[in-house]
Chains A and B, each alone.
Chain A
């Protein structure tokens, strides 16, 4: 990671922490106390969807079942995201401790880390770390002489973006083709092997470790009312200092651009390929669930970039990565890409492009999982926000319907 900048705004995720601290705290207090702190912190999931973590854990804890599972989503497949990689390499203790706290809280005895196939190189060191935790009695049976048992197993993905989606991830964990499941009911009731399962992002677990040791109120001090705490942003693209940035929610896009040393910026893609693309006029937007939400990916594009090319790149990704089970996503993405190619060649009608935007809106509401529901975001936002550039560049509007 030497080539990447790590900007520590205020030490929260990177605050002092001694390995095992959160576990030591958790075994000494009741589950309700853990859940209370989480609730106080108002933390929402760091994986992108932003579901309140306390609620998720509470539902899993409340579900009646013989077995329960905790899954750490380390698939990190969203283009432009690399903050989970950073956490796993630099601070595995935060992630694993958070998982153990999760296990204790929801009543699970087993946890999985679903590790992105491309991260196989860190498997050995992570497993070594787990061995050490076992030796230190932070993992395994009767953790720190308590009644709690919890074990962690790392499983490798095999390179499908959709397997980051929590239900497809569970299917994949079970050994099936990675396809999203029907919901409701949700994994908190019927997850891995049909048992209640809580799936959380790497960063969520890391944050939990701090919240448990330092208190929910401390965490809530940062960020905005609706988006509390500090977030890791993966900043990349046309800037001097790409890297992992620790910043409070509510930071504006232009603030990040300044920090990263970006100049001549034309567009910022917030939330990866599945996120939205903002033009200059909207750089005052706040990074927050209630405004410009993101799992952490910030991609910066300067004036030299072609928006159509960027968009094409995103759409090619989705056409490739759609699991293919549901109609809107499987065929819809291909149609959107087809539309981009028509734009490139200048063989389009405005009517048809508008029709495709309309189709994108249907995909957003009718697709089965988050992939198809978000894949039209970049298409819609780039065509709407960069209309002039796109239609000027192509020879435009020839009627070849």
Chain B
């Protein structure tokens, strides 16, 4: 039950406010009701759906989603409440009196069956040719209710064109059942507001501003809507056919990099419970599929920390010591392409606060087609780079015209966790049973700091580990037990943390050419914040704009998706709070087992600075290959 007064969602789609009793305990805090003749006691204001769930009574749902405010529109969850003329939708009905509920009366069963029949009658297409075959909530319901024919016919003609304009999200309104989860996701969860219902009655459909293609509106490509779509109406732009083609082409050298979040979630695609990392099993599977090299995106995550961290130090030095007013503080992270596009649309005036460092995905692409190509003596034109990401916005990111610094498209294809799982299945591989194997050289090892990029707060934690050690000379372990920087972890929407810097060390050799000493940081309190999901990002931005506490921050981590990358729009469906927690646990557990846990200690990173990026972090070559610029897009697009 998300009661969010500040959300922009239409009130019809929000739970109505309830006057809850002030006392958590005592008279009025609980209500005893009857469900199917059995007495149960529930807290005042619990919905019928929650009450049933907590008592192991299954009620079918479609428009309901744990992450979203309620809608009450599909009507599949209706139940009988004694004394009421009509059936009541259990997801919307707050229990405030000792009511008697029946969940499977003949009338209830018939109504549900009718609702399913009606949905199917308007649902164009066939299950076997749908991306969501076997993971579709409508299909599941039809099975649950024993649907074996189309009682009210089945639509034979397509009504809508498929919108394939976006690099990330494809909309096929013929499959839409109008549950409005995408609308609520976009406006309420993400506070972007691209999608809304238009027209009335049978012509109702979900559309964009002026019915423009998705590529021409302020969609940030986060794909959260895909993750919540119960059917195949929304899905990601799948490049796997082209990837197969490259693999099958002997002249192509096909490289895949894998981000930290897919490995912590892909188990879910193979029938396992959420929460198991299959990192090294995945390596083997990818090799068997036919990828020539398998690299760990965590390696460039480490590199990101070096580049972005150095940029931060330089920014602070220029702003605080040199007094350069043109240098913008706080610095914002830039590795989440959903967040970046959100800022470009909604806060373009803050574009200079974005770190110029590319995301790990794009850094890797640029390095592969330059450094690696040269090292291996392969023509970069023959290299195809694929990135497995938990993200649909990454598909857009690799298409940005700015992302061609190698002279080629740095990353050719962004592949989601779901799409990769599909490729693995198609190759006849059952992932959990794969033997384990390692990543390939020359980027063999990555640190745990890179791994935790997958969770909200991860980038901040990774950066802090390095900054603390490099500036104070003190081991992080001495400051935070086991190097776990707990204050920046967890799923709180916005986290704000202060770190007083007491005592500074010598500037390490790698940074010496840029900064003479750390004295100016002595006694400074480093202020940082972490926000995940663009709704929270919006709160942070508004706070900064109004000169609030967060405007005094030095560094802020933003992730476009709730929970960070592990809750990304390319992750297995379903995704909800519980599943996000499990994925985070998997990531942190894997990280704690590693010996290398700080980006600046990664020998491969140091090797690349010693042998390729010779002028060091934020040096000339780094700037050419590993940094980028952004576009002020604004809200109005021609």
Contacts and interface: CB of A to CB of B under 8 A. Distances in A.
Do A and B assemble together?
A: yes
Nearest to B114: A362
Interface in A234-260: none
A294 interface: no
A326 B201 contact: no
Interface stretch (B115-123, B300-308, B437-445): B115-123
A278 to B, nearest CB: 21
A276 B201 CA distance: 22
Contact of A320 (B10, B11, B178, B200): B200
Interface stretch (B70-78, B481-489, B503-511): B70-78
A261 interface: no
B12 A326 contact: no
Contacts of B92: 182
A302 B111 CA distance: 36
Interface string A318-337: 11111111111011111100
Contacts of B74: 326-327
Given A325-B73, A366-B86, A366-B115, A330 B202 contact: yes
Given A182-B70, A327-B119, A335-B118, A366 B78 contact: yes
Contacts of A318: 201
A274 interface: no
Nearest to A355: B151
A367 interface: yes
Contact of B202 (A176, A189, A331): A331
A365 B11 contact: no
Contacts of A184: 16, 93-94, 96
Contacts of A171: 10-12
A59 to B, nearest CB: 13
Interface string B142-155: 00000000011100
B333 to A, nearest CB: 35
B121 A335 contact: yes
A328 B17 contact: no
A183 B70 CA distance: 12
Interface string A162-182: 100001101100101101111
B204 A182 contact: no
A177 B504 CA distance: 59
B87 A322 contact: no
A324 B111 contact: no
Contacts, number: 148
Contacts of A320: 200-201
B638 interface: no
Contact of B200 (A190, A321, A358, A368): A321
| Chain B CB within 10 Å, residue with most, of A160, A174, A179, A332 | A179
Given A176-B11, A176-B12, A331-B122, A190 B115 contact: no
Contacts of B75: 326-328, 366-368
B199 interface: yes
Given A320-B201, A330-B201, A373 B86 contact: yes
Nearest to B97: A184
A194 interface: yes
B203 interface: yes
Contact of B72 (A182, A324, A335): A182
A359 interface: yes
Interface string B176-211: 011010000000000000001101111110000000
A152 B18 CA distance: 28
B200 A324 contact: yes
Interface string B129-149: 000000000000000000000
A28 interface: no
Contacts of A64: 19
Contact of A358 (B93, B94, B110, B177): B110
A166 to B, nearest CB: 12
Interface in A307-364: 318-328, 330-335, 338, 355, 358-359, 361-364
Category for how many chain B residues contact A: 35 or more
B87 A366 contact: yes
Contacts of A325: 12, 71, 73, 178, 180, 197, 204
Interface on chain B toward A: helix, strand, loop, or mixed SS? loop
Contacts of A324: 178, 197, 199-204
B11 A359 contact: no
Contacts of B202: 319, 322, 324, 330-331, 333-334
B111 A362 contact: yes
Contacts of A177: 10, 12, 196-197
B446 to A, nearest CB: 48
Nearest to B118: A331
Nearest to A174: B11
B107 interface: yes
A189 B73 contact: no
B149 to A, nearest CB: 10
Contacts of B78: 365-366
B232 interface: no
Interface in A190-243: 190, 194
30 contacts: A171-B10, A171-B11, A176-B11, A177-B197, A181-B11, A185-B94, A189-B19, A190-B16, A321-B201, A323-B200, A326-B74, A326-B75, A327-B75, A328-B111, A328-B115, A328-B118, A330-B178, A331-B118, A333-B201, A334-B202, A338-B153, A355-B151, A359-B118, A362-B114, A363-B114, A365-B85, A365-B107, A367-B75, A367-B86, A368-B73
Given A326-B75, A365-B87, 5 more contacts: A185-B16, A324-B202, A333-B201, A334-B201, A335-B118
Interface of B: 10-12, 15-19, 70-76, 78, 85-87, 89, 92-94, 96, 107, 110-111, 114-115, 117-119, 121-122, 151-153, 177-178, 180, 196-197, 199-204
Interface of A: 64, 160, 162, 167-168, 170-171, 174, 176-177, 179-185, 189-190, 194, 318-328, 330-335, 338, 355, 358-359, 361-368, 373
